[in-house]
Chains A and B, each alone.
Chain A
Amino acid sequence: VILSADQKDAVTELVNIAFSRTAAALSELTGNRVELAVPEVSAHPIAELFPALGQFVRGDVATVHQIFGGPVAGDAFLLLDVEGAARLVALMTDAGAPTTHMGSSAKEVLTEIGNILLNACLGVFGDLLQVRFTFAVPRLHLESLKSMLDSILIGADELRHALLVGARFGIRDSAVTGCLVLVLGVTSLEQFIAAIEEWAQRAESGV
């Protein structure tokens, strides 16, 4: 799947709106200003996701996985490097110095952060694209990037694609790099892109 320049611009702007609102939610949660860079968007066959993800996260990652359904259905993943995830948890809980060893309460906090961020992002997608999503309960995984990807790939048919949305953000002088990955079947991906094009046309024409 290759996005045209217009499709990529529209997807990037939509994601920028969604991530900016998500950043505002994170700012409210942490009580700190969130600096957000322009998101980077690309589409990949799922088997080619590993090198593309490497520019945002490496090594051990904290992944919040949320399955979503509706006219566009798939899997949403929020991936954070483990150090960044630990810093987020420390900011949220005033727990002092961040630690990458996460107890059950830290995992619960991180899952809730992921839940809020993924819902904020997908919620904006749904509102603007006029698509209703349903959400399953999110799950947290702490493992290597390779293991996480292997788990996505198990049972995946080769027609699945990934829309990779990379975002770099900073909170209170702490750089946290993460990305959002939407894994969609080819039909859902086509519907998603068609919905974005319709949104762009509606917005452009003012109808």
Chain B
Amino acid sequence: MAKILVVDDSALSRKISKRILVEAGHEVDVAGDGLAALEHYALQRPDLVLLDVTMTEMNGLEVLRQLRALDAQARVVMATADVQASTRKMAADLGAMGFIAKPFVPRPLLDAVAAALATPGDHA
């Protein structure tokens, strides 16, 4: 089981995704904004980051860019209601390993997390 950081500015979404991941046996920490996420990542180096896109202050794509600058091997799955094809492409170009749409449904979320965790570390 993995250490996962959930980054979302919605307390409700943090609770939902944390519940799903904890019930699947993962160890989960949460961050409510991009800066807190970057700080947490630098200190804790979780196995995977589940990252929202539309957030105040720093949006998820910028957080993704900075995470990958911090650690080129960072495993990040985007979890967002922004389902535009352009958002998906931008996230993939920045190194995201998965993309799931809100509202959260357990199976797709767990499948995306499992797929990202199964990818070799030199995926970039």
Residues of A within 8 A of B (CB): 6, 9-10, 12-13, 16-17, 19-21, 23-24, 27, 33-34, 36-38, 128, 200, 203-206
Contacts and interface: CB of A to CB of B under 8 A. Distances in A.
A128 B103 contact: yes
19 contacts: A6-B11, A6-B12, A9-B10, A9-B11, A9-B12, A16-B54, A17-B81, A17-B103, A19-B81, A20-B83, A21-B81, A24-B82, A24-B84, A33-B86, A36-B82, A37-B56, A128-B103, A204-B19, A205-B19
B20 interface: yes
A9 B84 CA distance: 23
Contacts of B117: none
Contacts, number: 62
Contact of A33 (B9, B56, B84, B104): B84
Nearest to B20: A206
Interface size of B as a range: 20 to 34
B10 A12 contact: yes
Given A10-B12, A13-B10, A200-B12, A38 B20 contact: no
A24 B83 CA distance: 6
Interface of B: 9-13, 15-16, 19-20, 23, 54-56, 80-87, 102-104, 106
B24 to A, nearest CB: 11
A36 B53 CA distance: 10
Contact of A203 (B55, B83, B103): B103
B34 to A, nearest CB: 12
A204 B18 CA distance: 9
Nearest to B106: A206
A175 B93 CA distance: 25
A165 to B, nearest CB: 14
Contacts of A23: 82, 84
Contact of B102 (A17, A27, A34, A206): A17
A21 to B, nearest CB: 7
Point out which of B12, B80, B87 has the most chain A C-beta atoms below 10 A from its C-beta.
B12
A175 to B, nearest CB: 16
B54 A38 contact: yes
Contact of A20 (B10, B55, B56, B81): B81
A16 B10 contact: yes
B104 A203 contact: yes
A37 B102 CA distance: 16
A3 to B, nearest CB: 13
